[in-house]
């Protein structure tokens, strides 16, 4: 009786360990940059490695929390571009460029960055948080 109870307990513990181990591995991050440290992610996010000499486009979310970018227009040089949104407000924002790969993470009180390349042209950047573009969180990027 005692032996059977011990075996059953041991089996239950093994099952429990097995389940938790499986749960742990299957819930691993889906991040596309697993090498990034948690400290880095807390400060900024990046969708692709930065390119040396990239044309930097730095936008700023309204610091008072209004749904707008401080810059309604921006310019960049065609080629590799580093797009950043500095957000010091308590409102979550991001920046994306329509019809391109550029899309930063949504951040609150942090700076988010996306890297990629753009050809010369006129692009529209906007905030993807629902309602923000409609409220006016949109601008024009001219790439030459
Ligand atoms: Cu926004």
How many angstroms is it from 107 CA to the middle of ligand 1? 9
Q: Decide if 115 contacts 105 (C-beta within 8 A).
A: no
Domain annotation covers residue 102: yes
How many angstroms is it from 45 CA to the middle of ligand 1? 16
Domain annotation covers residue 132: yes
| Structure token pair of residue 67 | 């749904």
Other CB atoms within a 10 A radius of the CB of residue 16 amount to: 10
User: What is the per-residue pLDDT for 45?
Assistant: 52
Domain annotation covers residue 25: no
How many angstroms is it from 62 CA to the middle of ligand 1? 9
Domain annotation covers residue 37: no
How many angstroms is it from 123 CA to the middle of ligand 1? 18
How many angstroms is it from 128 CA to the middle of ligand 1? 6
User: What is the per-residue pLDDT for 133?
Assistant: 98
User: What is the spatial distance between Cα 107 and Cα 124, in angstroms, rounded to a whole number?
Assistant: 20
How many angstroms is it from 112 CA to the middle of ligand 1? 12
Residue 52 pLDDT class (50, 70, 90 cuts): confident
Q: What's the pLDDT tens digit per position in 16-29? A: 444 444 443 333 33
User: Residue 30 pLDDT more than 60?
Assistant: no
**DSSP bridge partners of 59:** 85
Q: What's the pLDDT tens digit per position in 104-137? A: 999 999 999 999 999 999 999 999 999 999 999 9
How many angstroms is it from 127 CA to the middle of ligand 1? 5
CATH number at residue 80: 2.60.40.420
User: What is the spatial distance between Cα 74 and Cα 78, in angstroms, rounded to a whole number?
Assistant: 13
Q: Range of 104's domain?
A: 44-143
Domain annotation covers residue 72: yes
Q: What's the pLDDT tens digit per position in 56-101? A: 999 999 999 999 999 999 999 999 999 999 999 999 999 999 999 9
Q: From residue 28, how far is each of 21, 25, 60, 102 by CA, in Å? A: 11, 5, 32, 25
Residue 46 pLDDT class (50, 70, 90 cuts): low
How many angstroms is it from 50 CA to the middle of ligand 1? 24
pTM for this entry: 0.68
Positive or negative, the CA dihedral 64, 47, 49, 54 is negative
User: What is the per-residue pLDDT for 109?
Assistant: 96
Tally of structural domains, the chain: 1
User: What is the spatial distance between Cα 6 and Cα 68, in angstroms, rounded to a whole number?
Assistant: 65
Q: What's the pLDDT tens digit per position in 118-127? A: 999 999 999 9
């Amino acid at each position: 009786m005692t032996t059977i109870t011990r075996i059953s307990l041991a089996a239950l513990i093994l099952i429990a360990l097995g389940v938790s181990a499986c749960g742990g591995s299957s819930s691993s991050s889906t991040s596309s940059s697993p090498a990034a440290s948690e400290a880095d992610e807390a400060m900024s996010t990046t969708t692709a490695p930065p390119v040396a000499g990239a044309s930097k486009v730095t936008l700023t979310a309204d610091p008072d929390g209004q749904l707008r970018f401080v810059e309604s227009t921006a310019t960049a040089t065609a080629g590799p571009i580093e797009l950043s949104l500095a957000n010091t407000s308590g409102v979550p924002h991001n920046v994306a460029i329509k019809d391109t790969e550029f899309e930063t993470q949504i951040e609150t009180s942090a700076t988010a960055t996306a890297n990629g390349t753009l050809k010369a042209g006129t692009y529209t950047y906007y905030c993807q948080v629902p309602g923000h573009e409609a409220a006016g969180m949109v601008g024009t990027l001219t790439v030459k």
